[in-house]
Structure 1
Amino acid sequence: MEALAVRLSGLDPYVDGAIRIIAFYDTLMRRRLDLPALARASAGLAECVTGIRLHDSGRATRFTADGRQASAPPSPVSTTVPIILDEEEIGTVWLERPGPPNPLDEVLLDRLAIATAAAVERYGPARTTMADPALVELAVGPDGDEVTRARALRLLGFAAELPVHVAAVRSHLPLDQIGGLICPARPVKAAPLADVGVILATAIDPARFPAGVRAGIGAAGSPGRSWREARTALRFTSPRAPVVHYPDLGALALLAEIPPDVSRDNTDVAAIARIADSPEHMETLDAYCASGSLRRAADLLHLHHSSVARRLEHIAKTLDIELTESTGLIRVKLALTAWRLLQE
């Protein structure tokens, strides 16, 4: 390999410089330098101010070419490169070079970004949101003992005294983006488990989930129990209620314990299945159940109340349930919820 490098360097001065930069950072990584030492060494090599910033802290580490910590206001950035760890951008490195960039600046910053990611991972816990799915499964799974669970949580960066909430998420958005939104103060970790995303955080703000995300949130406490609760709550989500907190379900959570065959055989649930192919009927019934009032349902649907009344009359005949009576409304709410749980 060294002989090949020598031959290549003889062909092209750029290649020679790039190889020397790579060798320089290989040496730094073997010496296990921390971030300030990496920034100082890089500034000396680049002969200009060099900076490192991690997104989670927001603080910049900047050194001048003579090895001093930069105190002057930052100059315009000439070149910047993201720091990537576990396929997630965790920060940036940059040069504040006066005048045009050096042809080798990008090579230098690429290697500095790699060295910084390695240092962050080494002196962790890693500042990424995404985590090893196997480690997350140890933290929330039903089979592990409490010692194993506690160790997994510690490796994920959660202190023993901190409460941990677990959220079960379905979304097309990246899990790290969702985690950063719902718990900006950190710590927060996420990983895909089977067909569901799991997010662990010390605090979760349900109002910060972005549009289009379905999420169930378990109560704080045992991560194993919170994960079970979160998955149950996820089953109760709907377009009108995309985020459900398990404690808010109360006795409704008992519906999730009913065997599917028992629910399917129920007369009211079977009646809901008969109108499920009509989006108009399902939307009208959902609005009526959510509001409990014909006029409020009309407001939700942006329709005249007489139009909603005609729809509800037809739905009531199909279901054979008197929707205007309190008992009928309770029956159809339970039946609609049970039918939705069967679709999960």
Structure 2
Amino acid sequence: MRELRGIAETLDPHVAESLRIVEHFDALVARRVGLTTLVRAATMLTGAAAGVTDPDRQLTIRIDAAALRDQGAEAPVPFPEHWQSVALGPSSTGRAWLERIGEPHVNDLMVLERLAQAVQITIDRTFGWGDEYHEAVALLLDVETTKVARARLAARLGLKETDTLRVIATPRLQRDSPAQDAPHAHADIGELTFFILRQSQLPELEHLQQVGISPPQTVASLPQAAEQAVVALRFARPDERISFLELGLLADAAAPTRNGSENPAVRRIAALMTELNCPLERLEALDAKSSAREIAGNLGVHHSTIAKLRERVDRQLGYDTASPFGALRFSLDLRLARYERSLGLSASPTT
């Protein structure tokens, strides 16, 4: 393809540009990127906002001219006459469109056609399995699945045994969540949603707010990766993305809780919450590296209230939570308390 494009560049620049578009979308399909990435590619190639919609799957993605996703996008009905649009396939009710202001550019239609084709391939890969798709992903993460069966399932999902993969765990996503349009291997298990993806695909799920991420693993180690992702998620506060590798000794400190034993740190925080009638989230606010005034502003209370709360916390715990070592200890205790509280989630695919 590159050789052909080189020849075309000397004969007709427009033909060369068309070949470049074909080559670009073919490469994205081969990399199995998400739908959002495909639509963003159309925007980058044309400089105009682009979108795709598939009413049958309640799916609409729009990327504006600045290459940012419009989270609340809805497909225009009807499409404005001055917008170009093409069907996703011969029997599909979905369409891809381009929001060009003014006269269409030479290769706008080519971009749309390649976008529609790439989107349809990606949708077929993901949704063509029916219910078997999510069952296959769940089996990949199940420690009871045999090595042979796991290798076969991985191959059907486009994963090689030698691929370097990550497992992401997040609280169960709603059907209309942007991440649910991603073609990465994913499944809802209990109260969590799991994704299996390559390292290069991690940025495609950056919009998820509370996430646990496994270390790099191969197909054979996916059950272990899922367990590690769950551990990391259980430490994460609602707006945090935590990798298992970041936990270090914190993962070891949580071992008594994971094994069913009561952790002394968890007992301390539980007693503190009861004694002060204070929720965990307010105690976590004290753990922030901020002044009393800043913390008070975030919580909507007077700064003197925060100062008095810290005094009571220090007195109850028996150490200074503002000192370097005390702050480290307090932060560790809070993390373990959050981990313990999250153990109520029905989450792990390995149990």
Give how far 1:174 is off: 3.0
Match of 1:112 among 86, 91, 95: 91
Instruction: Provide closer, same or farther for how the CA distance between residues 291 and 129 of structure 1 changes in structure 2, counting only shifts above 3 A.
Output: farther
Q: Is the 8 A contact 1:170 1:196 kept in 2?
A: yes
Scaled by the length of structure 1, the TM-score of the pair is 0.56
Match of 2:244, as an amino acid?
Y
Q: Is the 8 A contact 1:192 1:198 kept in 2?
A: yes
Is residue 84 of structure 1 aligned with residue 56 of structure 2? Answer: yes
Give how far 1:334 is off: 2.2
Q: Is the 8 A contact 1:206 1:243 kept in 2?
A: no
Q: Which residue of 2 aligns with 1:205?
A: 203
CA distance in 2 between partners of 1:129 and 1:319 (Å): 54
Bigger Cα displacement from structure 2, 265-274 vs 253-262: 265-274
Matches within 5 A, 1:117-132: 125-126=125-126, 132=133
Q: Which residue of 1 aligns with 2:244?
A: 246
Deviations 1:168-203 (A, max 9, x none): 1115533762255xxxxx751221112211112222
SS of the residue 1:205 aligns to:
helix
Is residue 145 of structure 1 aligned with residue 146 of structure 2? Answer: yes
Match of 2:191 among 195, 200, 219: 195
CA distance in 2 between partners of 1:297 and 1:110 (Å): 54
CA distance in 1 between partners of 2:286 and 2:263 (Å): 22
Is residue 217 of structure 1 aligned with residue 213 of structure 2? Answer: yes
Q: Is the 8 A contact 1:268 1:331 kept in 2?
A: no
Deviations 1:316-339 (A, max 9, x none): 223333323333323322221222
Instruction: Provide closer, same or farther for how the CA distance between residues 125 and 252 of structure 1 changes in structure 2, counting only shifts above 3 A.
Output: same
The structure with the larger Rg is 1
Matches within 5 A, 1:175-190: 177-178=178-179, 180=181, 188-190=184-186
In structure 1, the gaps of 5 or more residues are: 1-53, 60-79, 99-108, 181-185
Backbone CA RMSD of aligned residues: 4.6
Q: Is the 8 A contact 2:173 2:180 kept in 1?
A: no
Q: Which residue of 2 aligns with 1:228?
A: 227
Identity %: 21
Match of 1:134, as an amino acid?
E
SS of the residue 2:164 aligns to:
coil
In structure 2, the gaps of 5 or more residues are: 1-34, 41-51, 62-74, 82-87, 95-115, 343-351
SS of the residue 1:200 aligns to:
strand
Matches within 5 A, 1:297-308: 297=295, 301=299, 306-308=304-306
Q: Is the 8 A contact 1:171 1:214 kept in 2?
A: no
Q: Which residue of 2 aligns with 1:9?
A: none
CA distance in 1 between partners of 2:129 and 2:316 (Å): 49
Q: Which consecutive aligned stretches of 4+ in structure 1 deviate over 4 angstroms post-superposition?
A: 54-59, 87-90, 114-117, 120-124, 127-131, 264-267, 292-307
Deviations 1:37-82 (A, max 9, x none): xxxxxxxxxxxxxxxxx987569xxxxxxxxxxxxxxxxxxxx983
SS of the residue 1:191 aligns to:
strand
Instruction: Provide closer, same or farther for how the CA distance between residues 179 and 161 of structure 1 changes in structure 2, counting only shifts above 3 A.
Output: farther
Q: Aligned pairs, how many?
A: 248
CA distance in 2 between partners of 1:111 and 1:301 (Å): 55
Match of 2:140, as an amino acid?
A
Matches within 5 A, 1:218-297: 218-222=214-218, 223-239=222-238, 241-259=239-257, 260-263=260-263, 268-275=268-275, 277-279=277-279, 282-291=280-289, 294=292, 297=295
Q: Is the 8 A contact 1:168 1:217 kept in 2?
A: yes
CA distance in 2 between partners of 1:206 and 1:328 (Å): 38
SS of the residue 1:216 aligns to:
strand
Give how far 1:343 is off: 1.0
Instruction: Provide closer, same or farther for how the CA distance between residues 266 and 284 of structure 1 changes in structure 2, counting only shifts above 3 A.
Output: closer
Instruction: Provide closer, same or farther for how the CA distance between residues 157 and 266 of structure 1 changes in structure 2, counting only shifts above 3 A.
Output: closer
Scaled by the length of structure 2, the TM-score of the pair is 0.55
Q: Is the 8 A contact 2:53 2:59 kept in 1?
A: no
SS of the residue 1:258 aligns to:
helix
